[in-house]
Structure 1
Amino acid sequence: MEKESLALHETMETHEILNFKTVCLLKSKLMQGICFDNELKVLMEKDVQQSIQDINELIHFYKGSQLLQ
């Protein structure tokens, strides 16, 4: 059975999304340190947790790319 892999353009798009989600994660994590509103901190922590989950899912697809094989 042939192993499924991403096409080159799909690999590039996955890489771009992965970079974007990583930047969003870093921004939310850094903004928590300077935020004084506790409700906003809670929302940013939820965003951080969701971003981590999204990044882990994207890594799964990225590992299936042709460039990494």
Structure 2
Amino acid sequence: MEVLKLAPNETMQVHEMLNFKTVCMTTSKLMEGVVFDQDLKKLLEKDVRQSMTAITDLQNLLSKAPTIR
């Protein structure tokens, strides 16, 4: 059975998406504390939950990246 690996450029792109999603999630989490509108707060909480799922998925995808020695 052949093990599928990411190409180096794919690895870099997934890493960039992971960094971007982490920054977005951190921003949303920090904004939850300063927002008073309950609808906006719910949207931010939903964004944090979805971002955490996306971050986990991207980390799992990065586990298929080739190791560089």
Q: Which runs of 5+ in 1 are unaligned?
A: none
Secondary structure of 1:6's match?
Answer: coil
Runs of 4+ in 1 over 6 A off after TM superposition: none
68 and 60 in structure 1: CA distance in 2 versus 1, 3 angstrom threshold = farther
Q: Secondary structure at the match of 1:67?
A: coil
TM-score (norm 2): 0.94
Bigger proportion of residues as helix:
1
Secondary structure of the corresponding residue to residue 23 of structure 2: helix
Distance 1:68 1:36, change over 3 A: farther
Corresponding residue of 2:21: 21
Give how far 1:3 is off. Answer: 1.1
Count matched residues. Answer: 69
Give the unaligned 5+ runs of structure 2: none
Q: Percent identity?
A: 49
The root-mean-square deviation of aligned C-alpha atoms, in Å, is: 1.4
